[in-house]
Amino acid sequence: MTRILVVVALIGVAAAPGLALAPAYVEPNLVRGLLSGWAVAAVLITGLLHRRFTASAALIVGLVPAFAGVAALVAAFSGPEPRLLYGTLDAVVHSGARILTSSLPTAVAADTLALPALAVWLSGAAATLAVRSGYPLSGALCPLLALIGAAVLNGPELSPAYFPTALFALGAVLLLAASTRTDQLPGPGSVQATPIGAGTQTGRTGRFARSLPRALSLGCVLALVASLTTYIGPLALYGSPIRPADLRAEVTPPEEDTAGASPLSYLPAWAAEPGRRLMTVTAEEPTELRWVTLSDFDGVTWLPESRFRASSEVLPAPEREVPSGPDREVTIEVGELPGHWLPVVGVPRHVSGTAVAYEPASATLRTGTGHAEGTEYTVTGQVPEYKEEALKKAEEPDKEEFERYLQLPEDPPPQIEEIAAAVSDGTPYERANRLAAHLRSNYGFDPDSPGGHGYANLADFLVSPGTKGGGGTSGQFASAFALLARASGLPSRVVVGFGPGTDEGGQTHTIRTGDAVAWGEVYLEGVGWAPFDVTPGEPKQNGASQEPEGGSGSEGASSTWGVQRPEEDTGIFRSTGAYLDVAYAWAMVGRAAAGLATALVAGTLLVGVLRGTRRWLRLRAKDPRQRILGAWRELYDGLRLAGTAPRPSDTVSEVLVRSDGLLPTADGRPRPWTLGRTMNAMAFMGDGSAGVSAHSAQLAADEVQTYTAALRSRLSRPRRLLWWLDPRPLFWSRP
C-alpha cells in the first residue's frame, strides 16, 4: 500500500513540469496527456529497471526507451525532418533552439516536444532512483528543477502554473510522508522500547495504519501552505517592477538573407503587365490583403524583415496598439507569387493550412519553408477601423522608441527636405495628410514608368512643391511618402499589398498583378499604424481594385485597415499588459478563503458529530467488556486532551493515579476507580471469557463520564468548546 502511494506521489511530482509547460503549446490538452504519459512511463520503467540494474546503470539503460519515445513522437508529429532516424536526431539536437525561436503558442511537433519529454523522463527517472535509494528529498529536487525550467520557458506570457505547482507540492509531501520510517520511534536513551515479539504481531498493516493519520495531517498542513503560497505569492509581486523575464526575447532568431528580394521591386513589372493571376481568395466580402511590410531603407531599396519566428496556428499578439475592428477570415490559394511571404488580412491572429513563421512587429507572415507559390491556407485577421476624431487627436510618438522608423540614410535628395519643410506644422495627422495630398495631386500614375524607389530614382521623380511632377508606380509613391514622413519627423514604413481583386462569384476573387499596390503607413500615438493612400490616378485605368479612399480632402487613413485589440482569442494570452490580473487574483483568494472557511466549519461540525457518536458508542456498548474498554479509551482521550498524555510505560494504576493528580478529589483521597480492577482483570486474568459484570461496566462508564466532565469544566471557555471539536482524538492511536 505504501509502495503504491510512493509510486503515485512520484508520478505526480514527475508530471508537474509537463503540466506546467503544456499551456505554451497550441493544443495544451494533447501535450498534457503526452507529457504525463512520459512521466508515468519514466517512473514505472525506471522502477522496473532498478530491480535489475544499479541506479546509474538504470538511468543509462532507461535512455533507450526514452529515445524510442522520441522516435515515436517523430512518427506521430513529424517536424521539419520526416525521416525517422534523422528526424529523431534533429528533434533531440535542435529541440531547445526550436522552442526558443518559435513564438507562443508553440506548435505541437516532434522537435518542439523532444526536449520537454526528455526533461520529464530524466527528472522522473532521477526522482524514482533517488526515492528508491532512500533519498526522497533529492527525489523531489530533479522534478522541481524541471518545474522551474518550465516556468522560465513559459515566461510572462502565460498565466502562472498554479495547479501543477500545487500538484508538485502535494506529491512531494506524500513522498516525504510515505518514505518516513515509522518504525524509528524516538527511544529514550538506548533503552530498547519495543517489547520483544510484540513488534512482529502488528506487522506492516499496523504500521501503515498508525502512520497514515500522521502522514495525512502532515500532508493537509503542507498542502494548505503550498497552495496558499502558490496562489497568494504572485500577489506580492504585483506593483513591483519585477516581471518574469521572457526567455524568447533574449533569443535572436536566425537572420535570413533578404538581399535582392524587396517586394517593392516587383511592382513596376506587375503594373506593366497587370493581367497575370497571382492568387485566388475566398472571402465573404471583398477584402484588401497585406503582403509585406518594409521598415528599413538603405538609400537604394526598402528591406523586408529578416528575422521570423516559427509559429503555430495561433499567432502572437501585435506589439503595438491597433484600433478595433471586425475579424475577417479568408482562404487564399497562392498562384505564382514570388518570395516566401504570405498575404494576410489585417493584423493576422490565426493561420491554418501550412507551416508559417511570423514577425509580430510588422505583422508579416511567411511560409515555414521554401516558397509561397502553391500554398493554400486560411488566415483570420482583425481589420482595424480608423475613426476621424481619434486620428485628429493623435500625437507624435516618442522619437527614441521609434528611431528605427525615423531613420533616413545620408544624402537624401534635396527635394525631400524641401517638401518636408513645407508641411512642418500641424498635428501629425494633418502633416501626413498634406504629404499624401501633395503626392496624389501633383503626380500621376504611370504603369510604364521605369520603377525604382531609391534615392537616385526619387531625385528624378520628386519635384519641388508647387510644380507638377511626372508619373510613377505605387511603389515609388509609397517610398516617397514614407521618406517624406520621416524627414518631417513622423515614424513611417512602406506596405505592399493587394486590392480585393476580381469577383468570380461564389465568394471567390482572383487577384492579379494589377491589384498589387504599395502604400505608406505613419505611426500616430493613440491610434497605431495608420495607412495613407498616396498613389494618384484612376484605379480602373491601372487595373487596381478600388483602393481604400478617405477622399482627397480628408484623405489618408483608409477606413478599413482596422485593427484593435484582438478579442480574447484563445484565453491563454493575457493581453492587458499587466502581469497579473489583481482583481481576478483577489477574487480567487476570496473564493478560496470562503471555501476554506466553509470546509473548516463543515469539518468542525463533522468532527463534533463523529466524536459524539464515538463517545456514545463507547460508553453505551452492550457488551460489558466493550463498555469498559470504551470507558478506558474515553479516559485516555480526556487525559490527552487535557495535555497530560499517559506514557506508553504507564500501567493502568499509574494512569489512574495520574488522573487523580490532574483533578484531585475534595478530600485529596484517590478515587475508587472500578476501571483499575476491571481493566487488569480483563487483560491478564488468562481465561479471556471471564465475565465482567454489567454492573461494574456501568460503574466504570459512569465514573469516566463524571471525571471527564469535571476535567472539562475546569478549562477556560474556549478550550471547553474545543474539547468536543478537536479532531486530534480521531487520529490518536487507540490505547
Three-state DSSP class for 88?
A: helix
Nearer to another protein, 574 or 625 (CB): 625
Q: Taking the CA atoms of the chain, what radius of gyration do you get in angstroms?
A: 39
Cell numbers linked to 275:
493581367
Per DSSP bridges, beta strands 444-445 and 471-472 are parallel
Q: Is 209 in the site for another protein (CB under 8 A)?
A: no
How near is the Cβ of 631 to another protein at its closest, in Å?
10
End-to-end alpha-carbon separation of the chain, Å? 24
Q: Provide the angle, in degrees to the nearest 10, between the axes of the packed helices 136-154 and 110-132.
A: 160
Query: DSSP letters of 171-183?
Result: HHHHHHHHHS-TT
Answer whether 604's CB lies under 8 Å from 596's CB.
no
* Binding region for another protein (CB under 8 A) out of 188-196, 329-337, 499-507, 664-672: 188-196
Q: Is 194 in the site for another protein (CB under 8 A)?
A: yes
Give the chain's count of helices (H) and strands (E).
24, 17
How near is the Cβ of 687 to another protein at its closest, in Å?
7
* Binding region for another protein (CB under 8 A) out of 215-223, 310-318, 592-600, 644-652: 644-652
* Binding region for another protein (CB under 8 A) out of 47-55, 185-193, 464-472, 524-532: 185-193
Nearer to another protein, 192 or 252 (CB): 192
Q: Is 693 in the site for another protein (CB under 8 A)?
A: no
Q: Which of 686, 689, 691, 716 binds another protein (CB under 8 A)?
A: 686
Q: Is 190 in the site for another protein (CB under 8 A)?
A: yes
Q: Is 581 in the site for another protein (CB under 8 A)?
A: no
Q: What count of other Cβ atoms lies within 10 Å of the Cβ of residue 165?
A: 22
How near is the Cβ of 650 to another protein at its closest, in Å?
7
How near is the Cβ of 654 to another protein at its closest, in Å?
8
Nearer to another protein, 10 or 652 (CB): 652
Nearer to another protein, 190 or 716 (CB): 190
* Binding region for another protein (CB under 8 A) out of 31-39, 304-312, 531-539, 651-659: 651-659
Nearer to another protein, 313 or 637 (CB): 637
Q: Is 643 in the site for another protein (CB under 8 A)?
A: no
Q: Which of 19, 629, 700, 704 binds another protein (CB under 8 A)?
A: 629
- Positive or negative, the CA dihedral 392, 397, 403, 409 is positive
* Binding region for another protein (CB under 8 A) out of 191-199, 420-428, 565-573, 581-589: 191-199
Nearer to another protein, 241 or 668 (CB): 668
Nearer to another protein, 683 or 721 (CB): 683
Cα separation values, 71 from 33, 63, 79, 96, Å: 17, 12, 11, 17
* Binding region for another protein (CB under 8 A) out of 6-14, 126-134, 581-589, 683-691: 683-691
Cα separation values, 226 from 8, 120, 169, 222, 232, Å: 19, 22, 6, 6, 10
Q: Is 290 in the site for another protein (CB under 8 A)?
A: no
Q: Is 189 in the site for another protein (CB under 8 A)?
A: yes
Per DSSP bridges, beta strands 516-524 and 289-297 are unpaired
Nearer to another protein, 8 or 681 (CB): 681
Q: Which of 56, 184, 192, 200 binds another protein (CB under 8 A)?
A: 192
Nearer to another protein, 421 or 685 (CB): 685
Taking alpha carbons only, the member of 503, 474, 515, 483 closest to residue 405 is 483
* Binding region for another protein (CB under 8 A) out of 265-273, 309-317, 409-417, 675-683: 675-683
* DSSP state letter for 252: P
Q: Is 685 in the site for another protein (CB under 8 A)?
A: yes
Phi-psi region of 290 (alpha: psi -120 to 50; beta: other; left: phi over 0): beta
Q: Which of 507, 644, 653, 705 binds another protein (CB under 8 A)?
A: 653
Nearer to another protein, 540 or 684 (CB): 684
Q: Which of 246, 256, 329, 650 binds another protein (CB under 8 A)?
A: 650
* Binding region for another protein (CB under 8 A) out of 190-198, 231-239, 286-294, 499-507: 190-198
Distance CA 165, CA 16 (A): 7
Distance CA 643, CA 726 (A): 13
Question: In what helix (H) or strand (E) does residue 677 lie, and over which residues does it extend?
Answer: helix 674-684
Q: Which of 621, 663, 682, 715 binds another protein (CB under 8 A)?
A: 682
How near is the Cβ of 639 to another protein at its closest, in Å?
13
Q: Is 668 in the site for another protein (CB under 8 A)?
A: no
| Long-range interactions of 650-657: CB distance < 8 A, separation 24+ | 652/676, 652/679, 652/680
Question: Can you give 289-349 as a three-state secondary structure string?
Answer: EEEEEEEEECCCCEEECCCCEEECCECCCCCCCCCCCCEEEEEEEECCCCCCEECECCEEE
Residues 6 or more apart whose Cβ sits within 8 Å of residue 698: 627
How near is the Cβ of 19 to another protein at its closest, in Å?
45
Which residue, chain included where needed, has cell 487613413?
A: 557
Nearer to another protein, 316 or 676 (CB): 676
* Binding region for another protein (CB under 8 A) out of 9-17, 183-191, 370-378, 410-418: 183-191
Query: DSSP letters of 350-401?
Result: EEESS-EEEETTTTEEEESSS-STT-EEEEEEE-----HHHHHH-BPPPTTT
Q: Which of 196, 259, 583, 666 binds another protein (CB under 8 A)?
A: 196
Nearer to another protein, 206 or 233 (CB): 206
Buried b (16+ CB within 10 A) or exposed e, 560-594: bbbbbbbeebeebbbeeeebbeeeebeeeeeeeee
Q: Is 575 in the site for another protein (CB under 8 A)?
A: no
Taking alpha carbons only, the member of 705, 708, 707, 678 closest to residue 694 is 678
Nearer to another protein, 557 or 699 (CB): 699
How near is the Cβ of 678 to another protein at its closest, in Å?
9
How near is the Cβ of 189 to another protein at its closest, in Å?
6
What distance separates the 2 farthest-apart alpha carbons in the chain? Answer: 128
Angle at 21 between CA 19 and CA 22, to 5 degrees: 65
Q: Which of 240, 576, 684, 691 binds another protein (CB under 8 A)?
A: 684
Nearer to another protein, 348 or 676 (CB): 676
* Binding region for another protein (CB under 8 A) out of 184-192, 215-223, 239-247, 419-427: 184-192
Residues 6 or more apart whose Cβ sits within 8 Å of residue 643: none
Q: Is 648 in the site for another protein (CB under 8 A)?
A: yes
Q: Which of 101, 474, 633, 641 binds another protein (CB under 8 A)?
A: 633
Q: How many residues bind another protein (CB under 8 A)?
A: 37
* DSSP state letter for 506: T
Q: Which of 184, 240, 649, 689 binds another protein (CB under 8 A)?
A: 649
Query: DSSP letters of 573-623?
Result: ---SS-SS-HHHHHHHHHHHHHHHHHHHHHHHHHHHHHHHHHHHHHHT-SS
Enumerate binding residues for another protein (CB under 8 A). 187-198, 625, 628-629, 632-633, 636, 647-654, 679-687, 734-735
